[in-house]
Every structure is written in structure tokens, then in C-alpha cells.
Amino acid sequence: KALLANTPADEVRALPARTGMPAATEKTITTPDGFLTALEEVRRLGYAVDDNEQEIGVRCLAVSVPDSPTAAAISISGPAGRVTDVATEKIVPVLQQVAAELSEALASSGPGA
């Protein structure tokens, strides 16, 4: 979700035609409209949450790497009982800081650096 949050809706809708949207759990988003709604939430929050969508009992937080030469994101996953809302408030700013630092490192290691 962090990778696709700023992708045009028509491109996002085209993905299931190629990849499908199989359910890994009962919480998996399985419709293009549901996924587009989730991407709106990512844009609003500034980070993505996978809450038991890929594996029951696992929660993942992710942020995109800004201005990356290729689509990139960083994430942290853990037991849903430990990656709580309180933990999320602490984790997300760290992920955002690391993503910004990674963006700077990638920019400075590019051609001509």
C-alpha cells in the first residue's frame, strides 16, 4: 500500500487483472474499490497499515521512501498484540525518519555523486 498510495487509480485498478486479489486471511482486501479506499487512508495518515491482512496475528507498518529513484518503501512487522496503536505512534515517526535518510543516501549515491 505504501508503494501504491500515489499511483493513479486507473493504474491501481489494472493490477488485479494481472495479479488477482486472492485472500490470505478474512481481513485481506480483495476488491479494487476496497484497495483504493485503503490507499486513501495511507495518503491521509502518511503510512500504511497491514492489520492481519496477510497473516493472522501480524501487523505491519510501512512508509514510502520519498524521491527514490525506484519505487521503495520500508516497513516493520510484528505480533499484532505488540504493534498496538500506542506502539504505532512511536514506530511511524522512526520509519519516516529512516525513509527520509534513505532517500538522501540514495540521492547522494546516484550518478555524479
> Taking the model in full, what pTM does it have?
0.89
Euclidean distance between CA atoms 92 and 56, whole angstroms:
21
Euclidean distance between CA atoms 98 and 61, whole angstroms:
13
Q: What percent of the chain has pLDDT over 90?
A: 83
Residues 6+ apart with CB under 8 A from 67: 103, 107
Euclidean distance between CA atoms 103 and 33, whole angstroms:
31
**Contact assessment for residue 34 and residue 41, using Cβ atoms and an 8 Å cutoff:** no
pLDDT tens figures, 74-100: 999 999 999 999 999 999 999 999 999
Residue ranges of domains in the chain, CATH in brackets: 9-108 (3.30.450.40)
* pLDDT above 70 (res 110): no
**Contact assessment for residue 77 and residue 59, using Cβ atoms and an 8 Å cutoff:** yes
